[in-house]
Amino acid sequence: MASRVRLILRFMAGLALAAGMAVPARAAASPCFAGKHFRGCGDVDYLRLLETARRMFEPDPRFQNLSMLYTPEWNGLVEGPTWNM
């Protein structure tokens, strides 16, 4: 009878160990990103790309967009050294 109890206890300990290993570790927290338009944790590089793409839809001092490059006087686009911030 004692041998059967030991077998059950070993099985339960093994099951608990396997369940503990299956749960992802929370000790190493994933890096987070917080931008003007997007925020979240996980794939920070992808979130930065989304933020850059969204910032290109409005005037931004760091990224050029169509509204900053179009010159109505020339009816065309201005790029390069003539671009003023």
Q: Which residue has the higher pLDDT, 1 or 30?
A: 30
Q: Is 52 exposed, middle or buried (0-12, 13-18, 19+ CB in 10 A)?
A: middle
The pTM assigned to this predicted structure is 0.49
Question: What average pLDDT does the segment 51-78 reach?
Answer: 81
What are the tens digits of pLDDT across the range 19-55?
A: 666 655 554 678 999 999 999 998 999 999 999 989 8
| Range in 20-24, 29-33, 56-60, 61-65 with the lowest mean pLDDT | 20-24
Q: What is the pLDDT of residue 73?
A: 84
Share of the chain above pLDDT 70, in %: 73
Residue 38 near residue 51, CB atoms below 8 Å:
yes
